A and B are shown apart, each in its own frame.
Chain A
C-alpha cells in the first residue's frame, strides 16, 4: 500500500509536524518514507506544506504531481491543491477556517471543524493533532500505537507531559470522521 499525501496550511499551524509524525510512525513499522517540506520564507508565516509518502515498496520520487490525500488547514491550500487530488482520493479540511469549500464530485471530501474543536479542548496548538487523527481514520496507513511511539520520539522529553493532551486531540479527530 502507498499513501501519497500533502499537508498544507499556514506556517505555525504544525503542518510539517503532521507529516513528520506520520513519517516516524512509518519508520517504526519499517515502511519506506519520504518527507519533503517547503522550507522557504513561507515557514515564517506564509503557506507551508510537506509532501509525505508512506509505502510498503520503494519510493521512486519524493516530488509528485498528484496526491491521494490533501490535508488543508487554510484557504490557499484548497485553492492551490484541490485539482491535484487523484480521482477517488481525499480532501480533509479544517471547516472552521475554510470558507470556499472544495467542490469536486469525483473525490471524498471530509469537513472537520478542527480549529473549533481545538478551542473546545482549550489549546489551539493541538489543531494539527486533531486533523492528523482525522487523516489516520480516513487512511489507516500506520497503527495507532506507532503514532504514540512517534510522538515520544519527536517531542523533546521536557514536553512529554503534553502527550496525553495530544492523544486526546488525536482521538477526537478520529471521532470527528466517524460521525
Chain B
C-alpha cells in the first residue's frame, strides 16, 4: 500500500471517507477546519457521503443524534469551544445509546482561548462532559497514522457498544504532516441494526430512540444498563503502549503528542544513563489502570507530562494508589513543553 505525506486533519477526513462513513455534520473552527474543507472537496463524489456545514455546533451534534438513530455511520469534528457547545447533545446520544464518532482537535482554553494546541479538554472528554452518569470511549492518537487508524477503530468501538466515541487530539497533530498508510475503501452500510429507526416495519413494533424516561424506576434501570456496559468496556477495550519499561526505574507518561515528547526526553535521559521508560495510554477512557498499578510497585517515581495544568495525572495517581511518587509537569495555553524542559524537570525532582 502506498505511503503518503498528509496533515493530521486531512488524514482524519480521508479515513472517515474510507471507513464508509454515511454523513458528516460540522462547523468550521481552527485548528481543524481542514476536515470539512477536505470532505467538501472529496467525499460526496467518491462515496455519496453527506457532508453538511450546519449553522452551529449545537445543530451539528443534533444532526448527528438524528442520523445515528437511523443506524448510519456518522461523525462530527470540532475544537474545544465547539465541543463544549456539543455537550448537551452528547449526553442525549449517550443516554439513547447511539454510536457516533466525534473528534476534538483540542486548542488552548478556557474560554475562546487560543488556536494553539492544548490537552486541556481531558477532563471534559473522559469524565462525561455533559450532564448525567455517562462516558464516551476516548481514543488519543499521537501521530497522523493513528488519526487514520483510530478513526476506523473509533467507528468499530462506537458501533460495538452503541456508545459515542471521541478522538481527543491536539491542534498540533491536526496541523502537522507525517507519513501515513491508508486502509482500503470500505463499502457504506446497506443493512442497518435492528434498533435503527428506518421506518415502521410491516409486522414489527415501532422503534423508538429517546433519552427521556420520566419514571425514576425506569431511569434507574437505564442507568444500571449503561454502567454494565461501561464495566464491559473497561474490561475489554483498554489500550496502551509501553516503551523501555522492563528495566525502568522511572516512568514518563503522557498521552497524544505529550507522550511523544516524553519519549524523546526518555531517549535523552537514557543517553545520560537514567533508566527511564514510557507509558502511553491509547484509550483515555477506559483508562489503563492496571499497567500503572503494576509498574508503581517496582519504579522509584512517575513523571506525568501534559499540555494542561494536570488532568490525566489524577487518574495516574488513583491507579498507583500511593505506591510510588507521582510528579507532574505541564505547559498551558497553547505552549508545548520541549523534551529538554521535561528532562530538566525530571532531574530536579527525582535525582
Chain A interface residues (CB < 8 Å from chain B): 20, 23-24, 26-27, 30, 32-37, 39-40, 60-66
Contact = CB atoms under 8 A, between A and B. Distances in A.
Contacts of B177: 20, 23, 33-35
Contacts of B336: 63
Nearest to A36: B176
29 contacts: A20-B177, A27-B3, A27-B4, A27-B5, A33-B179, A34-B177, A35-B176, A37-B175, A39-B30, A39-B115, A39-B175, A40-B116, A60-B260, A61-B260, A61-B263, A61-B264, A61-B339, A62-B172, A62-B176, A62-B260, A63-B172, A63-B257, A63-B261, A63-B336, A63-B339, A65-B338, A65-B339, A65-B340, A65-B341
B121 interface: no
A64 B338 contact: yes
Nearest to A153: B5
Given A34-B178, A61-B264, A64-B339, 19 more contacts: A23-B5, A23-B177, A27-B3, A27-B179, A33-B178, A34-B176, A39-B171, A39-B175, A40-B114, A60-B260, A60-B264, A60-B267, A62-B172, A62-B176, A62-B178, A63-B172, A63-B261, A63-B336, A64-B264
A35 B5 contact: yes
Interface string B229-240: 000000000000
Given A34-B178, A39-B31, A62-B260, A24 B172 contact: no
A64 to B, nearest CB: 7
Interface string B113-130: 011100000000000000
Interface of B: 3-5, 30-31, 114-116, 171-172, 175-179, 257, 260-261, 263-264, 267, 336, 338-341
Contacts of B4: 27
B5 A37 contact: no
B291 to A, nearest CB: 20
Contacts of A66: 340
A87 to B, nearest CB: 14
A61 B340 CA distance: 12
Contacts of B267: 60
A60 B243 CA distance: 11
Contacts of A27: 3-5, 179
A129 B4 CA distance: 23
Given A35-B176, A39-B31, A62-B176, A30 B261 contact: no
Contacts of B30: 39
A37 B114 CA distance: 16
A24 B7 CA distance: 12
A62 B178 CA distance: 9
A174 to B, nearest CB: 23
A21 B114 CA distance: 29
Contacts of B115: 39-40
A65 B176 CA distance: 17
Nearest to B264: A61
A153 B264 CA distance: 31
B5 A62 contact: no
Contacts of A30: 3
A63 B175 contact: no
Nearest to A41: B115
A50 B161 CA distance: 41
Contacts of A34: 176-178
Contacts of A40: 114-116
Nearest to A19: B177
Contacts of A35: 5, 176-178
A40 B178 CA distance: 20
A55 to B, nearest CB: 11
A20 B177 CA distance: 8
